[in-house]
Amino acid sequence: MRTVDLRSDTTTLPTDAMRQAIAGSELGDDVFQGDPTVNKLQDLAAQRMGKEAALLVPSGTMANLVSILTHCGRGAEVILGNRAHTYKYEKGGISAYGSIHSTQIPNQDDGTMQLEDIRDAIRGIDDHFPVTKLIGLENTHNVCGGAPISVAYTKEVADLARSHNIKMHIDGARIFNAAVALGVEVQELVEDADSMSFCLSKGLAAPVGSVICGSKDFIDQARGIRKGLGGGMRQAGIIAAAGIVALETMVDRLQEDHINARLLADGIADLPDVVLDPESIKTNIIYFDMDDNAVESADFLAALSTKGIQFFDTGPRRFRMITHHGITAEDILYTIDAFKQTLAD
C-alpha cells in the first residue's frame, strides 16, 4: 500500500547527496568553534541572509528560545501574535527558562498583526510594567495557513520597532518557502530584522538543525546562551554537512511543494463536507475544515489511515496537511482519490 505522509515537512528524509556529505564531512569540536563544516554552514547561512554571523542550533524551538533570551533580560517583554508558533507550540520556554513575559495580539488571517495593535501593545516606562524589548514575526506563518509575509509589511514593523528602540526577531522556520512564493530573495525578507532563524529540517530536507543569523555581537551572546541550554554540540559537522547541501540544492525545488499543495487543495475543495478555499493556499501548508454534520474527526483520520494517508487534526473538525520533498504529484492524486472514496462511504 502506498504511504503518503502529510503530517509535516519535518518527515522529510535526507537526500543521497546529504548522506554522502555527512559521511565525508571534515569534523572538529564546535563548542571550541573548531568544526570546519559547521563554520562553513554558518558562513553560508549568514551570507544568504545578509547578516554578519550565524549559529547552528539543534532545533527551531531552541533557535527562537536562544534568540529571545539574547534580546530580552529577565522580566522583559516580547510582543507575539496570538497564533505564533513561539507562543502556542514551544512549551512556554521563554517564560520557563528566561522569565520573559509575552503579550499576544491578534494575528490576521494573512499572518500579520495590525500595526496599531503592535503600537498599542508597546509598554511605556512605568514601575508597574515589564519593559517591551522585542517584537516577534513568523514567516511563513504556520497556523495562518503557511501565509508568506511581505517585504513591505516586515519593513513597516521594523520601522515601528526602531522608533521605540525595540528589536525585531523573525521566526523564519519556512522563510525560504516565503521567498519562493513571493518571488523575492530571502535576504530581502530579513533585511530589517535584528535576528532571524530558519530550519534546515523542514522543506530543505536536512535531518536536523536550525540556524540563527544576526550581528556578530548578537551571535557571540547567543552562543553562550546555547551552551547554557545544552545546545553546544561537539563534532556537529555531521549535521552541518547536510545543511550545506540543503542550502545549495533544495531551495528552488520548494516550488514543487507549493504546486502540489494547490493541486491537493483544488482536488478536495469541492468534495462533500469539505470547507476549503484553494485560493488561500500560498505555500506548502493546507488547513481545511469539515461541516458540523460530517464524519467525526477521529473516524475520518482513521479511515484515511487505512489507505495510507497520514495527517492530523488541529481542532474540532479542523485539519492540517503539509506537502514536502517526500510527496510527489502522484501521491497527491492518490490522496484526492482516497478522500473521494472515504467521503462517499
All structural domains of the chain, each given as residue ranges with its CATH number in brackets, are 12-248 (3.40.640.10), 253-344 (3.90.1150.10)
298 versus 294: the higher-pLDDT residue is 298
CA-to-CA distance for 220 and 18, rounded, in angstroms?
28
The stretch 259-285 carries a mean pLDDT of: 97
- Strands (DSSP E) contained in the chain are 4-5, 53-57, 77-81, 101-105, 132-138, 167-171, 195-199, 210-214, 274-275, 285-290, 309-310, 312-315, 318-322
CB atoms within 10 A of CB 203: 30
CA-to-CA distance for 236 and 28, rounded, in angstroms?
8
Q: What stretch of H or E contains 232?
A: none
Give CA separation, 151 vs 109, 112, 161, 282, in Å: 17, 12, 15, 16
The stretch 51-56 carries a mean pLDDT of: 98
- Specify the pTM: 0.96
User: pLDDT at position 72, please?
Assistant: 96
Looking at residue 58, the DSSP 8-state letter turns out to be S
The stretch 172-199 carries a mean pLDDT of: 98
User: pLDDT at position 125, please?
Assistant: 85
User: pLDDT at position 154, please?
Assistant: 98
User: pLDDT at position 126, please?
Assistant: 86
Query: Residue 294 pLDDT > 80, yes or no?
Result: no
User: pLDDT at position 344, please?
Assistant: 85
Q: Per residue in 92-150, pLDDT tens?
A: 999 999 999 999 999 999 999 999 999 999 998 889 999 999 999 999 999 999 999 99
User: pLDDT at position 303, please?
Assistant: 95
Torsions phi, psi of 63, nearest 5? -60, -45
User: pLDDT at position 211, please?
Assistant: 98
- For 305, what's the count of Cα atoms within 13 Å in the CB-facing half-sphere? 10
Tell me the three cell numbers of residue 282. Answer: 500560498
| Mean pLDDT (the chain, rounded) | 96
Q: How many helices (H) and strands (E) does the chain have?
A: 14, 13
